[in-house]
Amino acid sequence: MIRNLRLAPEGYSIIAISLILFLLSYFTSIYSDFTWLNTTTKIMFISFIGTCYFFRDPKRKLSNDIQEFLSPADGTVLSIEKYNDSKIGDSKKISIFLSVLNVHRQWVPLNSKVLDTDYNEGTFFGAFLDKASEKNEQTSILFTDKNNNSFRIKQIAGFVARRIVNHMIPNSNVNQGQNLGFIKFGSRVEIIVPNNFEIKVKKGMKVKGCETIIGRFN
């Protein structure tokens, strides 16, 4: 199991810092008489293991039907509501909350072309709050599929700002299941689709990136 563990490159620097802090604490505890260092070393070790777990980057097997719009992230569907997008127009917004226990990788949900990306520094409310949708640090990515159906994926950070990694480049063609990006720590992912999109998930439902079918364009 450990041999097959994959860590997200986006987390290498944080994992390295966590490991260094653990090793410093460990070797200091060996050559000192301070008993409290033993407790500190245990905390640093647990922190290192927890950091590795958070930045896990599992490989996902894709659906055989590329017409299906797959979930771009792991998490829980917070809400499904009407929305008005500046580029898409009248649309629907599906909000997914990622807890600290969820994989924080995002994947491309459908074979498509990247039209545009936009980054907003924003604030850092809890990602589970509705106001995080518009106010928090976020990256918004506009796509179009082969049938000219436009859709948008938003990566929204939580309590800690400046933690969004976006790999999408405007005017590039991307494939379903390709790495879209990564959000470090508490986060939210939103899917904005036009009204001709048939949604197959419900509020409160657990979804899994590259596996759960969000819906399809009619």
**151 pairs with which residues across the strands?**
143
Q: Is the CB of residue 153 less than 8 Å from the CB of residue 191?
A: yes
DSSP 8-state code for residue 87 = T
Q: Which of 29, 133, 140, 187 is catalytic?
A: 187
CA distance 183 to 107: 12
CA separation for the pair 154, 3 (Å, rounded): 33
The b/e string for 161-172 (b: 16+ C-beta within 10 A; e otherwise) is eebbbbbbeeee
Other CB atoms within a 10 A radius of the CB of residue 173 amount to 10
- Please state, in angstroms and rounded to a whole number, the distance separating the CA atoms of residues 162 and 184: 9
Active site residue 25: no
Amino acid identity at 113: K
CA–CA distance, 217 with 168 (Å, rounded to integer): 22
- In the numeric block, the tokens 């800690």 are attached to 160
Q: Which residues are catalytic?
A: 187
